[in-house]
């Protein structure tokens, strides 16, 4: 019997989150017979991140409820997990990863699934405040929950009105917090969506009692005996028992940079997720990659992208000839609103809104066009619009705008 192609090979994956874990299992499925090592500095067993700002924050059900895989699945698939271990450097000449504890591991194939970390801006006084937390890891949620439960006034200031800041606002409001969101831009979600969606979410939060303040540039943080204060450039001051920082993320690209890999807006990879060094691949939030559908280079922050690139890389590492070709999609849950977004709306010149709301429920979708080309769809409590939109964008179908704008007509007629 001949030895399988990968039997004696070692694959090391740095980062055991959505990208890394999906890759490890996909590799086994694709027939990789060598060793697979998943290394992560986070000491917790790998978990889903999206629930952190949503149900996991409000329910405190324990990490077991949001694990990416049951612990036994790693054993059954001979995937070695090295948790609480940080990779300090990559020696690509000798094909080694050097760990922070001084040990080294040899690899034949290396995959960077290192993701990103929250931006902590250098605001005056930031190092002096006791209860300021980012929202990226399970430990961040534990810290927020514990600080929140220990204070009586429950005043929360969230710096940044993007999806993560707003989801955190909705969750802490649900727990009885007196929540203020401070956004530097003139509208929330300015970086990621159109004014029509920003207005909807601003009203949704206001109706739920969250104080949303836009055009607020935070310039100083102060610790005093009654908690903390957040000071803005216009002189306004917001007292806070807990501050959550949600102003965006920065790619963990230093390991790649120091190893000499090509970097652009993230770690550059080709259509097979290979970096500029042979034997080194990268997947997920840390990658800068080409999107065939939109004919441009992108960096995406979404679970789906991490999973898609994991599948592509598993095929590439087992000598198939895959080509990454995926439509970006993303979701967000706030209160009783489930938002599903597909495609990229940048460059749109027309928006059509299809309103199917009832007295009890928001239900609508916004359709972004450039000329006749449908670029993206945002669907609020409307799975059908999301599914139909995905098909239409994927197939580049010309959409009948009269049918679309008339909620009496079935969306399926567009297919």
Q: In whole angstroms, how close is the CB of 114 to ligand FAD at the nearest point? A: 4
Q: Which is nearer to ligand FAD, 88 or 219 (CB)?
A: 88
Tokens standing for 269? 């990879």
What letter would DSSP give residue 359?
Answer: S
- Comparison of 15 and 45: residue with beta carbon closer to ligand FAD: 15
Which residue has tokens 């006749």?
Answer: 372
Tell me the two tokens of residue 87: 């990779």
Q: Is 304 left (phi over 0), alpha (psi -120 to 50) or beta?
A: alpha
Please state, in angstroms and rounded to a whole number, the distance separating the CA atoms of residues 152 and 129.
Answer: 18
* Long-range own/partner contacts, residues 148-151 (CB < 8 A, 24 or more apart): 148/172, 148/175, 148/177, 148/241, 148/242, 151/227, 151/241, 151/242
Give the residue with the Cβ less far from ligand FAD, 193 or 332: 332
Q: How far is the CB of 277 from ligand FAD (least distance, A)?
A: 17
Q: How far is the CB of 61 from ligand FAD (least distance, A)?
A: 16
Q: Considering the complex, state which of residue 254 and residue 346 has its C-beta at the smaller distance from ligand FAD.
A: 254
Task: Lay out the sheet containing 337-343: strands in order across.
Answer: 329-334, 337-343, 373-380, 364-370, 350-355
Q: What's the Cα-to-Cα distance from 134 to each of 57, 217, 222, 245, 295, rounded to whole Å?
A: 13, 18, 17, 5, 34
C-beta of 162 vs 227, nearer to ligand FAD: 162
Task: Please tell me the distance from the alpha carbon of residue 6 to that of residue 107, in angstroms, as a whole number.
Answer: 12
- Residue numbers at the binding site for ligand FAD (CB under 6 A): 14-20, 39-42, 49-50, 52-53, 86-87, 113-116, 135-136, 164, 252, 255, 284-285, 301-304, 306, 330-332
To the nearest whole angstrom, how small is the minimum distance from the Cβ of residue 252 to ligand FAD?
Answer: 5
Residue corresponding to tokens 């970096």: 275
Q: How far is the CB of 12 from ligand FAD (least distance, A)?
A: 11
Looking at the Cβ atoms of 53 and 382, the one nearer to ligand FAD is: 53
Residue 2 beta carbon to ligand FAD: minimum distance, rounded to whole angstroms: 35
Cα–Cα distance for residue pair 159/73, rounded to 1 Å: 39
Q: Minimal distance in Å, beta carbon 86 to ligand FAD?
A: 4
Of 41 and 205, the one with the shorter C-beta distance to ligand FAD is 41
CB-CB contact of 15 with 284 (8 Å): yes
């Amino acid at each position: 019997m001949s030895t399988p192609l990968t039997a004696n090979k070692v694959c090391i994956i740095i980062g055991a989150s959505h990208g890394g874990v999906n890759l490890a299992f996909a590799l086994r499925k694709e027939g990789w017979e060598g060793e697979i090592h998943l290394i992560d500095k986070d000491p917790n067993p790998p978990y889903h991140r999206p629930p952190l700002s949503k149900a996991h924050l409000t329910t405190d059900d324990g990490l077991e409820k949001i694990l990416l895989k049951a612990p036994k699945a790693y054993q059954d698939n001979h995937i070695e997990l090295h948790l609480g271990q940080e990779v300090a450097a990559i020696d690509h000449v000798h094909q080694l990863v050097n760990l922070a504890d001084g040990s080294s591991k040899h690899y034949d194939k290396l995959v960077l699934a290192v993701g990103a970390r929250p931006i902590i801006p250098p605001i005056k006084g930031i190092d002096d405040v006791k209860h300021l937390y980012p929202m990226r890891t399970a430990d961040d949620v534990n810290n927020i929950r514990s600080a929140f439960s220990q204070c009586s006034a429950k005043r929360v200031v969230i710096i940044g009105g993007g999806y993560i800041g707003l989801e955190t606002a909705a969750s802490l409001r649900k727990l009885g917090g007196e929540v203020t969101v401070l956004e530097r831009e003139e509208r929330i979600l300015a970086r990621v969506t159109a004014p029509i969606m920003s207005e909807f979410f601003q009203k949704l939060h206001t109706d739920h009692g969250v104080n949303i303040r836009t055009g607020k540039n935070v310039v100083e943080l102060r610790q005093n005996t009654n908690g903390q204060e957040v000071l803005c450039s216009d002189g306004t001051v917001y007292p806070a028992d807990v501050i959550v920082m949600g102003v965006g993320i920065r790619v963990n690209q230093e390991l790649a940079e120091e190893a000499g890999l090509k970097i652009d807006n993230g770690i550059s990879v080709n259509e097979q997720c290979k970096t500029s060094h042979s034997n080194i691949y990268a997947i997920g939030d840390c990658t800068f990659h080409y999107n065939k559908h939109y004919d441009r280079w992108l960096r995406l922050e979404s679970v789906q992208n991490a999973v898609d690139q994991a599948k592509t890389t598993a095929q590439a590492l087992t000598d198939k000839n895959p080509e990454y070709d995926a439509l970006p999609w993303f979701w967000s849950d706030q209160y009783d609103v489930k938002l599903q977004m597909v495609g990229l709306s940048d460059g749109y010149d027309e928006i059509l809104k299809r309103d199917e709301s009832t007295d009890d429920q928001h239900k609508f979708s916004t359709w972004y066009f450039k000329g006749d080309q449908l670029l993206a769809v945002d669907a609020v409590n409307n799975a059908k619009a999301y599914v139909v939109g995905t098909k239409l964008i994927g197939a580049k179908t010309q959409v009948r705008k009269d049918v679309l704008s008339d909620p009496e007509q079935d969306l399926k007629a567009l297919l």
